[in-house]
Amino acid sequence: MDDCESLSHSKWECKYHVAFIPKCRILAEPLRVHRRASAAEIDRIVIDALDRVGLDRTAARRYPHQFSGGQRQRISIARALVLQPALLICDEPTSALDVSIQAQILDLLAELRRSLNLAMLFISHDLAVVRQVCDRVGVMRDGRLLEVGETDQVFRNPQDS
């Protein structure tokens, strides 16, 4: 792939030597900031991350307003994955999604957890989602940790009702 065919430059941008911010920059930026990949590797890593979250490579050329809520969430997950983390922090990952898309995102997170051996810190106000996703639960109120335990135990016998 030459410079003008890479995800970071369109043919128009190359022809007129225009310095647009590449649309895929949001996915590539963590790699550049943390110097985790060479310029030649970035496109491959971005494509792989998009594939892992169920989006095709054309997503790298689209603008944020062109994505649905579920696709935006997948882009956020892909952005986190490009750095190959051991821990993925999921802060309200399904809060603004409809139920069917919410289920798809939860399934995706479960698959990534298994396939990449990821640990996840899942932050949510949706107790049904917490019960479905988490092995262990910490209950907080007013910024203080009140209880920690196995999910089933905490839901069956909460210590602070």
Q: Which of 139, 141, 140 is nearest to 154 (CA)?
A: 139
Tell me the torsion sign for CA atoms 22, 102, 108, 133.
Answer: positive
Amino acid 8: pLDDT: 46
Residues sharing a CB contact under 8 Å with residue 13, sequence separation 6 or more, in sequence order: 4, 19, 20
Q: How far apart are CA 39 and CA 45, in angstroms?
A: 10
Tokens of 72: 């935006």
Amino acid 161: pLDDT: 57
DSSP-derived 3-state class of residue 38: coil
Q: How far apart are CA 4 and CA 14, in angstroms?
A: 6
Tell me the per-residue pLDDT of 126-158, one tens digit each, with 9 for 90 and over. 999 999 999 999 999 999 999 999 999 999 999
Q: How far apart are CA 107 and CA 155, in angstroms?
A: 22
Tell me the per-residue pLDDT of 61-113, one tens digit each, with 9 for 90 and over. 888 788 899 999 999 999 999 999 999 999 999 998 999 999 999 999 999 99
